[in-house]
Amino acid sequence: MDDEQLLAQARKAEGRHKIGMIFLLLGGIAALAGATEWVPTAPTDKHLWQICAAVAVAMIAAGLALRFSARVPAEAKSGRLAMVRAERSQAKRQVAYLLMPLSLCLMLPGVVGATSRVAGGAPIEHVELFTVICFIGFLLAFALLIAGRGLDRWAASVLNDELSRELRAKALLFGYAILLPGLAALFVVGLVDRALAVELAPVLAALGVAGPALRLYRLERAAGADAIEA
């Protein structure tokens, strides 16, 4: 089997692996939606819980089946072929950096609305609790991805080299530059209007992740352009 055939087989396996990850994520979200129905803040909808449980089981089973059946050839996990695969995946990671702020912005209205209602003394609804937990989960997942966690060993030579670590450090430093003054300002706002501070907290958290994601995207694009010119 030549290099092109190995790369084609690796792409197919990676495609199955990614689809499996999407199914697992959807299954986890469905399971979370069902679990929040049992939180005693509102009446439990048993029919919704049963539907969420069935969807979660089906999605997780399909995701595990796809992941375990997606086997990349051993020859494509090392040497030149591994570097080629890592370089190709870098462009996809850059697209993911752009999608992070978008996904957080889509969740923000629901999270801010939930925090506003709870700060006003109203009990939190199940759908609001689900939205807040998803928001926190995505924040943590995006922060770990920006920090370079979860990289495969075969891609470390390209995606975790000295330059990549330097770029990630700059992006994380940009995040600190957003969060630290923001927390100080939020503390001052809380002394004057506690409800407003509670509403602004998720906005600051989203900025603390979205900012480094966009910064890392621009840094990697600039580094790639410099490498092509050189």
Comparing 50-54, 64-68, 123-127, 207-211, the range with the smallest average pLDDT is 123-127
Tell me which of 4 and 219 has the higher pLDDT.
219
- The predicted model scores a pTM of 0.76
| pLDDT score recorded for residue 213 | 92
For 157-216, the DSSP string reads HHHTSHHHHHHHHHHHHHHHHHHHHHHHHHHHHHHH-HHHHHHHHHHHHHHHHHHHHHHH
